[in-house]
A and B are shown apart, each in its own frame.
Chain A
């Protein structure tokens, strides 16, 4: 179903009176919703996403997670246009294999981030409509999160939310993990269990207020022992 909803500026009222014949161009993009979140700890990283795939007023699937495993120490979360997410992950997998065969080792998280930046910028004039967040362990075993914009600008962070509910979740993370805008609070480093609990709470809040987020939550916890996946149910309405 092609959505009648334009991706115009948020907050502006659309006019509904007849102004004469209007030509609608085919838009190659669609917005499939979904939220992705990543948190980096001292020796772990968490990448979490909801599993709802929607378009306009419909839900295509309740079981379409947005976390994709790249290597034993790296997981990527992609939200936005599902078609571009699939193609992008295929391209990343192919490049990872090429690297493995030429260099006889797996790519590190930092290298994957740098490579993804150039892949995205290669399509500067017809971008992949994907908001990426990479979570993993760096060469020293510490947690690393790299967040991207659709054209390849990236940054290493401690925590980042991306996707439809990102504007709601990011301030909550700033406050709870970054201790921003709080006076007289002790900065306690995040333990793994507390981080997982926080991620679950944050997604439950997101599902309450964002229509494109819900159904189930897939959490991938990356430690040096490997990648542990859990699925937690969320609101289905």
Chain B
């Protein structure tokens, strides 16, 4: 019954109308049913009311969280960088997660928050963007994509869905969308438990006029410093560069080597 209500609510949004001609998997196969179905009075118009927050079953296991991701714009396009650690409680659930995923050839999204939520919502977003492209024969703009994502996440506001995505697009656009409902455009975003450390490094050296190599090295340095100080970030750094020609991925780099090089540099400074 709640899935029918969700269908109704979803159908009210213009872009997500399920066309009867399409025999694709309906959206309710992907989107989970809300924890408490709204009673059939006028409260159904406000799915973010306290009904979402009332008692749910206590989970006996922790979910993956904790990260450092960043994105910034400069003259040569957009850089997106992230670490690759997924932690669940105190355990490293996976040391080689992909936190930056391409949505299509010119749009890349960095994810932070709960691992499963981000992965599934990225899949849903990719599906919707592809459907839009097939139906309307053009790519949806980055701002439109961000709006679509924000509207799709809205019914889950107040629940424990925790998604904080930064869309990095070809048009030198950087938009941060989160499950609390925020949708912000900006020049520089860093998200996650390691973001304060990354912001410190970025704020010092970031300028519009950076060259591509300088920008890449700055992003790498910011993630490296954040992984050094934040327990929940670590392992490798992923780097994507998005331009009008599309995205390109730099080879994943293990930060263990970088740490030893840095230590060596410091001892040389002290001795030399």
**A residues apposed to B, CB below 8 Å:** 7, 9, 25, 27-29, 31, 117-118, 120-127, 129, 147, 149-155, 157, 167
Q: How far is the CA of A35 from the CA of B30 in the complex (A)?
A: 29
Q: How far is the CA of A124 from the CA of B64 in the complex (A)?
A: 14
Q: How far is the CA of A117 from the CA of B114 in the complex (A)?
A: 14
Q: Is the CB of A149 within 8 A of B120?
A: no
Total residues of chain B contacting the partner, CB 8 A: 34
What chain A residues lie within 8 Å of B159 (beta carbons)?
A: 125
Q: Is the CB of B119 within 8 A of A29?
A: no
User: Contacting A125 at CB < 8 Å: which of B64, B89, B160?
Assistant: B160
What chain B residues lie within 8 Å of A117 (beta carbons)?
A: 119-120, 123
What chain A residues lie within 8 Å of B98 (beta carbons)?
A: 155
User: Contacting B60 at CB < 8 Å: which of A7, A25, A167?
Assistant: A7
B152 within 8 Å of A by Cβ?
no
Quick one: closest B residue to A127, CB to CB?
A: B59
B interface, over-half SS: loop
What chain A residues lie within 8 Å of B59 (beta carbons)?
A: 29, 127, 129, 150
Q: Is the CB of A121 within 8 A of B120?
A: yes
User: Contacting A154 at CB < 8 Å: which of B114, B119, B160?
Assistant: B119
Given contacts A118-B120, A149-B116, contact A125 B35 (CB under 8 A): yes
User: Contacting B34 at CB < 8 Å: which of A28, A120, A125, A154?
Assistant: A125
Produce 1/0 per residue, B235-262, CB < 8 A to A: 0000000000000000000000000000
Which of B30, B35, B60, B117 has the most chain A CB within a 10 Å cutoff? B60
Produce 1/0 per residue, B48-83, CB < 8 A to A: 000000001111110110000000000000000000
Q: Is the CB of A122 within 8 A of B29?
A: yes
Report A38 CB to chain B, min CB distance, Å.
Answer: 14
B94 within 8 Å of A by Cβ?
yes
Quick one: closest B residue to A160, CB to CB?
A: B94
B32 within 8 Å of A by Cβ?
yes
Quick one: closest B residue to A174, CB to CB?
A: B95
Q: How far is the CA of A151 from the CA of B113 in the complex (A)?
A: 13
Q: How far is the CA of A118 from the CA of B116 in the complex (A)?
A: 10
Given contacts A125-B159, A126-B56, contact A149 B32 (CB under 8 A): no
What chain B residues lie within 8 Å of A155 (beta carbons)?
A: 94, 96-98
Q: Is the CB of B32 within 8 A of A122?
A: yes
B192 within 8 Å of A by Cβ?
no
B115 within 8 Å of A by Cβ?
yes
What chain B residues lie within 8 Å of A129 (beta carbons)?
A: 59-61
Q: Is the CB of B120 within 8 A of A152?
A: yes
Quick one: closest A residue to B56, CB to CB?
A: A125
* Interface members, chain B 159-186 (any A CB < 8 Å): 159-161
Can you list 28 pairs linking A and B with CB atoms under 8 Å apart? Answer: A7-B60, A28-B57, A31-B60, A117-B120, A118-B29, A118-B120, A121-B30, A121-B120, A122-B30, A122-B32, A124-B161, A125-B33, A125-B35, A126-B57, A129-B59, A129-B61, A147-B94, A149-B64, A149-B116, A150-B61, A151-B114, A151-B116, A152-B119, A152-B120, A153-B116, A153-B118, A153-B119, A155-B96
Q: How far is the CA of A9 from the CA of B61 in the complex (A)?
A: 9
Q: How far is the CA of A118 from the CA of B25 in the complex (A)?
A: 12
3 closest cross-chain pairs (CB), A and B = A7-B60, A153-B116, A124-B32
B88 within 8 Å of A by Cβ?
yes
- Beyond contacts A125-B159, A150-B63, A151-B117: 20 other A-B pairs, Cβ-Cβ < 8 A, are A7-B60, A7-B61, A28-B57, A29-B59, A117-B119, A118-B29, A120-B116, A125-B32, A125-B35, A125-B160, A126-B35, A149-B88, A152-B119, A153-B114, A153-B115, A153-B116, A153-B119, A154-B119, A155-B94, A155-B96
